[in-house]
Amino acid sequence: MITFTDVTKTYPGQKRPALSGVSATIEDGEFVFLVGPSGSGKSTFLRLVLRETRATSGQVVVDGRDLGRMRGWRIPKLRRGIGTVFQDFRLLPGKTVHENVAFALQVIGRPGRDIRRTVPATLEMVGLADKADRLPEELSGGEQQRAALARAVVNAPRILLADEPTGNLDPSTSVGIMKLLDQINKDGTTVLMATHDSTVVDQMRRRVIELSNGELIRDQAQGVYGYQ
Ligand code: ADP
Ligand code: ADP
């Protein structure tokens, strides 16, 4: 599903690469944690998968496509197959939960009857059926992240990228979000989650890829967080 082959990324004007010689294969249906201290290259890894940036050398292949060679007009289609969630939720303020999730389908031109069927089912899945008409600013952090997750998966993406999704949540709320991510993964979505949350990583015991100064220093099945 995602293959990095000897990937190096050096941002313009930087001496040190953000990623250096990284190789890893993430199979269809896997759940992978990306760990490492701040500045170790986690976000760069995720941005490469989204083709928000390109490798300086090496190859990034997503769903059979070499992103270094991908033409610009194909990028929107690539991104439609990849859901994203972030630490800061990034919901549209002033739009209800239903509208936030529906918007993700409207922008890709899905018909209204589809949207009216799919959105309530997705909100049900994340446990927000009763909050559909609330605004994000009226919700708790955990509820906002559930709404963001609903928006990320309403289009049934093959891949879900999560960048510190529990970073703004207390531990008990984080457990609920992880249960949802686990469910989404069991339903067939490949999940790649960058995190500093050692509790979550140690509880889930999924594959762990650790970066340090841009280098892949550990790739462990049923791994633990493992660094201080
Ligand atoms: P992490 O997500 O693990 O905190 P990043 O991928 O954000 O790591 O950053 C890795 C390195 O690349 C850091 O040294 C960071 O300062 C640098 N970096 C990230 N984005 C840019 C950018 N757009 N331009 C220049 N340097 C960047
Ligand atoms: P895009 O290519 O979609 O504009 P990028 O952030 O990947 O977005 O690239 C910014 C600029 O740098 C573009 O003009 C692009 O052609 C160039 N560029 C980026 N990465 C590479 C690369 N690996 N090889 C050649 N040119 C690159």
Q: Are 99 and 124 in contact (CB under 8 A)?
A: no
What's at 26, amino acid-wise?
A: I
Is 69 touching ligand 2 by the criterion CB < 6 Å? no
Supply the pLDDT for residue 227. 67
Digit-coded pLDDT (tens) for 117-162: 999 999 999 999 999 999 999 999 999 999 999 999 999 999 999 9
101-116 tens-digit pLDDT: 999 999 999 999 999 9
Measured in Å, residue 215 CA sits from the centre of ligand 1 at 13
The predicted pLDDT at position 226 comes to 87
pTM: 0.89
Alpha-carbon separation of residue 61 from 47, 51, 85, 98, 137 (angstroms):
13, 10, 21, 34, 38
Residues in the chain: 228
179 CA distance to ligand 2 centroid (A)? 37
The rounded distance, in Å, linking the Cα atoms of 148 and 151 is: 5
**How far is the centre of ligand 2, averaged over its atoms, from the C-alpha of 103 (Å)?**
29
All structural domains of the chain: 1-80+190-223 (3.40.50.300)
